[in-house]
Amino acid sequence: MTATTDGSTGALPPRAASASDIRTESTPLAAGTADTRDAAARAIQRATDFLLSTQDAEGWWKGDLETNVTMDAEDLLLRQFLGIRDERTTRAAALFIRGEQREDGTWASFFGGPGELSTTIEAYVALRLAGDAPQDPHMARAAAWIRGRGGIASARVFTRIWLALFGWWKWDDLPELPPELIWFPKWAPLNIYDFGCWARQTIVPLTVVSAKRPVRPAPFALDELHADPRDPNPVRPLAPVASWDGAFQRLDRALHAYRKVAPRRLRRAAMNTAARWIIERQENDGCWGGIQPPAVYSVIALHLLGYDLEHPVMREGLASLDRFAVWREDGARMIEACQSPVWDTCLATIALADAGVPADHPQLVRAADWMLGEEIVRPGDWAVKRPQLPPGGWAFEFHNDNYPDIDDTAEVVLALRRVKHHDPERVEKAIARGVRWNLGMQSKNGAWGAFDVDNTSPFPNRLPFCDFGEVIDPPSADVTAHVVEMLAFEGLAHDPRTRRGVEWLLAEQEPNGSWFGRWGVNYVYGTGSVVPALVAAGLPGSHPAIRRAVAWLETVQNDDGGWGEDLRSYHDAAEWSGRGASTASQTAWALLALLAAGERHSTAVGRGIAWLAETQRADGSWDEPYFTGTGFPWDFSINYHLYRQVFPLTALGRYVNGEPFAALPSSRSSFGRAS
């Protein structure tokens, strides 16, 4: 059975690309034939030309990073709160938000997904700000759906915080988040460094907001969004005292009581410390961490502490938010949660090199120049756990010196190795620093997280406040795999630290042969990341773990020859693991695993390659409305618009030109007897 994301339930055939969008053959391509290989070569040429044409003159690539309409709604709410909302921005945001509404009146958090309550509430409120009336049919449908699912009272905490800013919800009915948290020592439970960097950057400013509890006059009422307008803030029952949830609910009650007696001087000092922490982490472009949510809350917090909108910190912060806007041809305005130029550039470089673009091609050299210029050479928050580790690594965004990440650093090293640069000494020194930093960021279990070391505290996710998604950064199979693959390329396949990473990956394999994908959807991404890494590190294609992965991928291949996986696999792996409408990126991930495992001449690979060739558009691109990137598993999903280009080109290139690690001088017997 092939599943799709066209609705919240059921399984339908994969979505077919429009005939006007794709190159067609007179007859379907037979798997593994010369025609397939020729079609792959032609697809490579078209995809290469397309990708090269989209490079910026400075050397970087960046595709749109599409998430959901809460980014757009919260941008309007921020502007309303600060008194800077203008008609042009409001009209453009509303046009985009309306365009994302579904027939049943809801908004989803990913393409084709089920309606999502908090997303729908925030979109509805944003459209009310834009002038849409409650009685308008599309608004009435949304309101009825919201009421039917418990109304505002059932929304996530973050949504209710936004509503509390305008008096649409009571601050007393929100979890307490004291600013004194900023003083907790790093060894104490629930200190800010127990949180993942994205959560840490958000929580610190929100402690100020929680302490200040501001309320700006609401421009309208929202009675139509309460399940029972007579009781808009119903009391929620406490969980049993012996449970974790019950314990943290009672802790929250204690914090509410503390708020009433907290010494004003102490609280003011804590907020000032939080303000200094926030300002110290503002990037050169005015943003915070290169991502939109912390920037929004940092601006609100500083404004509440007396920073006027013309203060340089505020002025640059607001200007940075405008750079997250993508203006479309129809006049709509979409807000990116983040921007991914480093990630996109290293993946594009790898794709082009593996597709056969010469290593000294001017555009690859420009890309390498730009990546070298983005290296981070000063300590960031990661140094709290690794104070003696010298810096050296790359972040995800244009400007984010505080939070380099392990995944980008590994992939940038792999990309730089594929380029013949005019200053090899500079490249070697940058790679050496990146490898040293990645090795120094290994967690004690032998694996790697995305931003921090051993960020595995069990407590942050238990807080009543933290219901917006993953708030810690434990090691993951996909990040660990990319580091292991990079270390193998650097001749460190037999280094004890690499071996520990391999052993961890082998232990993490699912019973069905797949691996969980933390930062991509989902088991297809995890498996597509891990198998090439294990083979690069010395495991033979005959290793039992590799054979189990191959068998799983063959089992979940769609009837059309592609692969896909719905985001619902994060909630229901038994039903959705490896199942979904075929997509270009997920098909490529499966192919990367199969090719690494030595399955180049298999029927599964031939059918997958044929699917990529047949669904390619005439301009060399692929269509992919589905979300295959992950911010928080299930809670926050991403459509990286460049994924549909770089990963198919990489897979096609490796199919035609062979594996980049085939000639690595590493013995493949070291892990051959592992199980």
Number of alpha carbons in the 13 Å side-chain half-sphere of residue 379: 11
**CA distance readout (Å), 173 to 225, 322, 464:** 17, 32, 11
Question: How far apart are the C-alpha atoms of 611 and 296, rounded to whole Å?
Answer: 42
Label residue 543 left, alpha or beta by phi (over 0 means left) and psi (-120 to 50 means alpha).
beta
Dihedral pair phi/psi, residue 321, rounded to 5°: -65, -35
Mapped onto helix, strand or coil, the DSSP state of residue 340 is coil
Find tokens 């380029």 and name the residue. 419
Question: How far apart are the C-alpha atoms of 224 and 277, rounded to whole Å?
Answer: 40
> Annotated catalytic residue: which of 194, 407, 408, 560?
407
Find tokens 């697809």 and name the residue. 43
- What's 282's DSSP letter? B
Mapped onto helix, strand or coil, the DSSP state of residue 628 is coil
The percent of the chain in helix, strand and coil, each rounded to the nearest 5, is 50, 5, 45
- Cβ pair 295, 302 in contact under 8 A: no
Buried b (16+ CB within 10 A) or exposed e, 79-93: bbbeeebeeebbebb
Query: In this structure, what token pair is assigned to residue 22?
Result: 């794709």
Question: How far apart are the C-alpha atoms of 108 and 117, rounded to whole Å?
Answer: 8
- Cβ pair 501, 441 in contact under 8 A: no
Question: Cα 287 to the chain's mean position, in Å?
Answer: 18
Taken as a whole, the chain contains a residue count of 675
- Cβ pair 102, 190 in contact under 8 A: no
Closest CA to 105 of 90, 127, 87: 127
Strands 65-66 and 636-640: antiparallel
Mapped onto helix, strand or coil, the DSSP state of residue 88 is helix
The dihedral sign for the CA sequence 653, 657, 658, 660: negative
Question: How far apart are the C-alpha atoms of 665 and 667, rounded to whole Å?
Answer: 7
- Which residues have a Cβ under 8 Å from the Cβ of 93 and sit 6 or more positions away? 72, 73, 75, 76, 126, 130, 332, 333, 335
- What's 162's DSSP letter? H
Query: In this structure, what token pair is assigned to residue 281?
Result: 């982490």
Query: In this structure, what token pair is assigned to residue 587?
Result: 């098909």
- Which residues have a Cβ under 8 Å from the Cβ of 168 and sit 6 or more positions away? 125, 152, 218, 221, 222
> CB 41: neighbour CB atoms within 10 A?
17
- C-alpha distance across the termini of the chain, in Å: 31
Query: In this structure, what token pair is assigned to residue 139?
Result: 């608004």
Longest dimension (CA), the chain: 78
> Is there a catalytic annotation at residue 86?
no
Strand partners, 327: 333
Give one DSSP letter per residue of 544-609, joined into a string: HHHHHHHHHHHHH--TTS-----GGGGT-HHHHTT-SS--HHHHHHHHHHHHHTT-TTSHHHHHHH
Dihedral pair phi/psi, residue 632, rounded to 5°: -120, 130
- One-letter amino acid for residue 185 of the chain: P
Residues classed as catalytic: 407
